[in-house]
Amino acid sequence: MTELTMQEYIDQAEKDLLHTYNRYQIVLDKGEGVHLYDIEGKEYLDFVAGISVFALGYGNKEYNDALKNQIDKVIHTSNYYYNVPAIEAARALKKYSGMDRVFFTNSGAEAIEGAIKTARKYGYTRDGHTDHEIIAMNHSFHGRTMGALSVTGNPHYREAFEPGIGNIKFADYNDLESVKKLVNDKTIAIILETVQGEGGLTPASEEFLKGIREICDEKDILMILDEIQCGMGRTGYPFAFMKYGVKPDVLTVAKALGCGVPIGAFTMTEKVGQASLVAGDHGTTYGGNPLCCAAAAKVLEIMERDDIPSKARETGEYLWAKLDEVMNEFDAIKEHRGSGLMQGLLFDRPVSAIINSALKKGLILINAGADIIRFVPPLVIEKSDVDTMIGILKEAISENV
Ligand SMILES: *Cc1c(COP(=O)(O)O)cnc(C)c1O
């Protein structure tokens, strides 16, 4: 293929790819540390990390070598046989999360599908019938497949695709009374993000999370925590729930689990494992393949060994102080939310113009909803990178408010 200019590649992409994204007008080529480069060689400081994915930064030699070695051995075998990377990744994820049973998927949405099926099967096993209900949260985001969409509390994403899977009710996040009102004898699960990502970078309050745990214990309801975005060190703990001293019955993981290769997981306690999915109930061709599991095993090894969550917590506190300063400087910023290296600034207007200005100045940022700028950098980001980002951010805001 002849080499095209950046604009020619973009024009070609717009003819061939289904237009489900309004993409930023750059073609990315490679990454190094916390920087990305477009095909013209322009450098960008990356405060998105592929949406909370590339936690260890780009070009991590240990990670790359683990993948290269696995490619030369075997990439795929199917789940009808055991493979060492999957066995090692499962053990590592159990240890890191405190959960007992692991099912590897290819994406976050697929992990949510598995969690929903786990809950429904748990109810079926217990009660012998199938009309159970799941309580989900307004402003939640759990993915784009039909099941995950059905528990996503944003009508804008769901509208054109109704009806969903049914028997889903929505409560208000951080409003325990609104959850209690929906609980009845049919309720089998309550699903929520420990820190809402897409829906606005809102952490669960301690009262809310503990309250949900109590309801679930009292009524034999499964507490499903979606930590696809906020897990894997991002909030300064291996998983965000650990800060609260509560434990879920089912936990979903993805994004940073593979740091770029497509892998997710739904995990559960032994009790749930023994009373839900059995042989024949669920499967995947690619899920748990040796290549992706070699990546996940290495990511988990590095995260634990190098105590990446502590680093994220420390840099997260620094980022918090700096973004507070920015908020005080501009009236257009209404609120500062988040936890660890997962933060957001809520503006009184759409933020796309600010993000585009920042991009021109070599800083990659992303929105969450129309009016929030989301900050989810690689977890290995340094304080000096935060300073650089803040400098560009202030310029970009000044030009647009
Ligand atoms: C990204 C995300 C998902 C969906 O993951 P995909 O890999 O895009 O399917 C689900 N839940 C949360 C909280 C997410 O941030």
User: What pTM value is reported for the model?
Assistant: 0.98
Q: Are 194 and 240 in contact (CB under 8 A)?
A: yes
> Best of 53, 105, 141 to mutate for ligand 1, by most ligand atoms within 8 A of CB?
141
Q: Going by C-beta distance under 8 Å and a sequence separation of 6 or more, which residues neighbour residue 258? A: 53, 292, 295, 296, 299
For 346-387, the pLDDT digits (tens) are 999 999 999 999 999 999 999 999 999 999 999 999 999 999
How far apart are the C-alpha atoms of 143 and 108, rounded to whole Å?
A: 7
Can you list the residues of the chain whose pLDDT is less than 50? none
Res 1: pLDDT? 55
Residue with tokens 């325990």: 176
Whether 6-59+307-398 shares its CATH topology with 73-305 is answered: no
Atom of ligand 1 nearest to the CA of 148: 10
Of the candidate CATH numbers 3.40.50.1370, 3.20.20.80, 3.40.640.10, 3.50.50.60, the domain formed by 73-305 belongs to: 3.40.640.10
State which ligand 1 atom lies nearest to the alpha carbon of 254. 7
3-class state of residue 93 by DSSP: helix
Measured from the Cα of 51, ligand 1's closest atom is 1
**pLDDT for the residue 28:** 97
pLDDT at 232 (0 to 100): 98
- pLDDT, residue 320, reads 98
pLDDT one-digit tens code per residue, 106-153: 999 999 999 999 999 999 999 999 999 999 999 999 999 999 999 999
Q: Tell me, what's the pLDDT at 399? A: 98
Q: What Å distances lie between residue 190 and 126, 132, 325, CA to CA? A: 17, 12, 37
What's the gap in Å between 299 CA and the centre of ligand 1?
18
- Pick the atom of ligand 1 nearest to 255's CA: 7
Please give the C-alpha separations between residue 161 and each of 108, 113, 144, 156, 158, in angstroms, as whole numbers. Answer: 19, 17, 10, 10, 5
Alpha helices in 74-144 (DSSP H): 84-97, 108-127
Question: What are the boundaries of each domain within the chain?
Answer: 6-59+307-398, 73-305
As a whole number of angstroms, the distance between CA 48 and CA 80 comes to: 37
Taking the centre of ligand 1 as the mean of its atom positions, its distance from the CA of residue 265, in whole angstroms, is: 11
Q: Is the dihedral of CA 312, 53, 143, 157 positive or negative?
A: positive
pLDDT for 48 equals 98
236 CA distance to ligand 1 middle (Å): 19
Cβ-contact 137, 242 below 8 angstroms: no
Q: Which residues of 53-74 are buried (b: 16+ CB within 10 A; e: fewer)?
A: bbbbbbebeebeebbeebeeee
Residues with CB under 6 A from ligand 1: 107-109, 112, 141-143, 193, 197-198, 226, 228-229, 254-255
Give residue 128's identity as a one-letter amino acid code.
G
Class of the CATH domain delimited by 6-59+307-398: alpha beta
- Res 372: pLDDT: 98
